[in-house]
Amino acid sequence: MHGIIIHSGEWDKVYHAFNIASVYSSLGEEVVVFLTYWAVDTIVNKKIDCGDKERTEIICREINSGKIRRLDEAIKIGKAFGKLRVVVCSATLEILGIDENKLPSWVDGVGGLTEVLESNNLVFI
Amino acid sequence: MKLKLKKVGEKYELDVKDMVCPFPLTLTKLALEKVDNLEVITNNPPSARDIPRVLRKYGYEVDVKREGEVWRIGVRR
């Protein structure tokens, strides 16, 4: 199993981390993405379309042209193979005061670090 | 996830033109969950290089034809 911990809330880091996870999943490899701190803030507070800073214009243009997919679409592609699991850090929800019911539908569950620490390969972003 | 998948004779065509990595690969694999005889159409050079390499590694038969700026990647189980 592969594990990817996404701590950063920067859109491009979250996006590429999920792209890595999607490729693993498409190749039949089990992968868990564990979202913590600012990554949770990004996915909950509707910053998932094209980022929210100066690069937004470029990314939105390429999403609209079909060259790349929206973040939530990219995640759904990865999940379509049944090998990608997305877990949100329970402590983060408490610290940032985020209601679990506000998590996107593609989140599989809420848990702790043990969900991902047993991975053979672990990436921290 | 809707794929641009079209039946042409005995095989299915998957159009991933104008897409960049990793979507040509992940959508190809998604199509292969549904069909066994596939032709992937891409105009993205890195995808034309990487898709055959990865699919051969995972046991697929692959042949690649180039038509100008477009590659047709035939894939069979």
pTM for this prediction: 0.87
Looking at the domain assignment, is residue B1 inside a domain? no
- In the numeric block, the tokens 């972003």 are attached to A125
- Edge-to-edge, what's the strand order for the sheet holding B11-15? B5-8, B11-15, B37-42, B70-76, B61-67
What is residue A62's predicted lDDT score, i.e. its pLDDT? 84
Q: Does B3 score more than 90 pLDDT?
A: no
What is the domain extent for residue B37?
13-76
Backbone phi and psi for residue A43, each to the nearest 5 degrees, phi listed first: -75, -25
Q: Give the integer Cα–Cα distance in Å for B19 and A65.
A: 9
**Least CA distance to A77: which residue of chain B?**
B1
pLDDT for A74-118, tens place per residue? 999 999 999 999 999 999 999 999 999 999 999 999 999 998 998
Looking at the domain assignment, is residue B48 inside a domain? yes
HSE-CB for A5 with a 13 A CA cutoff: 18
Q: Does B29 score more than 70 pLDDT?
A: yes
**Least CA distance to A62: which residue of chain B?**
B19
CA-based nearest distance B59→chain A, Å: 11
How many domains does chain B contain in total? 1
The DSSP element (H or E) to which A123 belongs, if any, is strand A121-124
CATH number at B63 reads 3.30.110.40
What is residue A55's predicted lDDT score, i.e. its pLDDT? 63
Residue-averaged pLDDT of chain B? 95
Nearest to B26 among A65, A66, A77 (CB): A77
Interface confidence, given as ipTM, is 0.82
Instruction: Write a three-state SS string for A12-49.
Output: HHHHHHHHHHHHHHHCCCCEEEEECCHHHHHHHCCCCC
Domains of chain A (ranges; CATH) run 2-124 (3.40.1260.10)
